């Protein structure tokens, strides 16, 4: 809900006795008339704002008015800073969570016992193919890798393979 939703009509937004009487699409200015018949125009592109007598150009802002406007802008940013800090924090945590998935932490280097060597599982490898290439039995492979499940071999996982032949 907007800041001035309770003040949307001309009666509520304009000074007493003023009413909107026209709009010039070329200059994008609204024209207003006071109770004594004097015409005023609003700033270009704005529905409300500082009214100036019709036909005259608005005077430039004074240094004090300009400083007051800049100070108002600084104060507005101060209200946004906690929100922006929360957005940055949420984005940081989101990227931290996404980048530290279960497969992103490197496994510690595998230390194989004497008489065996490390082997990195390739796509399509099975325990049977690995022991056939090494020239050892399946039971020997299971002994040097306790707890290994042959039907759950992951590509890139290092296992110990007994030296054979």
**pLDDT tens, residue by residue, 88-140:** 999 999 988 887 655 555 566 788 888 899 999 999 999 999 999 999 999 99
Asked whether residue 156 is domain-assigned, the answer is yes
Residue 110 in any domain: the answer is no
Whole-angstrom Cα distance, residue 142 to residue 6? Answer: 77
The helix or strand, by DSSP H or E, that contains position 21, with its residue range, turns out to be strand 19-24
Helix (H) or strand (E) holding 158: strand 158-162
Cα(149)–Cα(130) distance, rounded to whole angstroms?
14
* 75 shares its domain with 92: yes
The domain total for the chain is 3
CA-based nearest residue to 115, from 162, 55, 71, 61: 162
CA gap 125, 159 in Å, rounded = 12
Residue 88 lies in a domain: yes
Q: Is the pLDDT of residue 156 over 80?
A: yes
Residues 99 and 133 in one domain: no
Let me know whether 143 and 126 are in one domain: yes
Q: Is residue 77 part of a domain?
A: yes
**Residues 95 and 130 occupy one common structural domain:** no
Q: Is residue 1 part of a domain?
A: no
Q: Which CATH number do you get for residue 131?
A: 3.10.350.10
Beta bridge partners of 40: 32, 53
> Which residue range(s) make up the domain with 45?
10-53
Flag the least confident range among 42-46, 47-51, 160-164. 47-51
Residues 49 and 64 in one domain: no
Residues 97, 73: one domain? Answer: yes
Instruction: Give domain status of residue 2, yes or no.
Output: no
Percent of the chain with pLDDT over 70: 88
Domain endpoint, select from 53, 72, 87? 53
Residue 108 belongs to a domain: no
Q: Are 32 and 21 in contact (CB under 8 A)?
A: yes
**Is the residue at 3 inside a domain?**
no
pTM (predicted TM-score): 0.37
42 and 17 part of one domain: yes
């Amino acid at each position: 809900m907007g800041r001035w939703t309770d003040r949307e009509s001309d009666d509520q937004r304009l000074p007493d006795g003023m009413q909107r009487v026209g709009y010039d699409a070329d200059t994008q200015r609204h024209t207003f008339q006071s109770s004594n018949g004097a015409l005023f125009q609003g700033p270009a592109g704005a529905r409300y704002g500082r009214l100036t007598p019709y036909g005259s150009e608005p005077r430039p802002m004074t240094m004090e008015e300009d400083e007051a406007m800049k100070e108002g802008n600084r104060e507005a940013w101060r209200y946004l800073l906690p929100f922006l800090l929360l957005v940055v924090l949420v984005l940081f945590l989101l990227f931290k969570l996404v980048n530290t998935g279960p497969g992103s932490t490197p496994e510690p280097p595998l230390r194989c016992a004497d008489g065996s060597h490390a082997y990195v599982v390739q796509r399509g490898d099975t325990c049977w193919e690995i022991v056939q290439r090494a020239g050892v039995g399946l039971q020997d492979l299971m002994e040097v890798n306790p707890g290994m499940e042959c039907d759950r071999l992951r590509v890139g996982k290092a296992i110990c393979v007994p030296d054979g032949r």
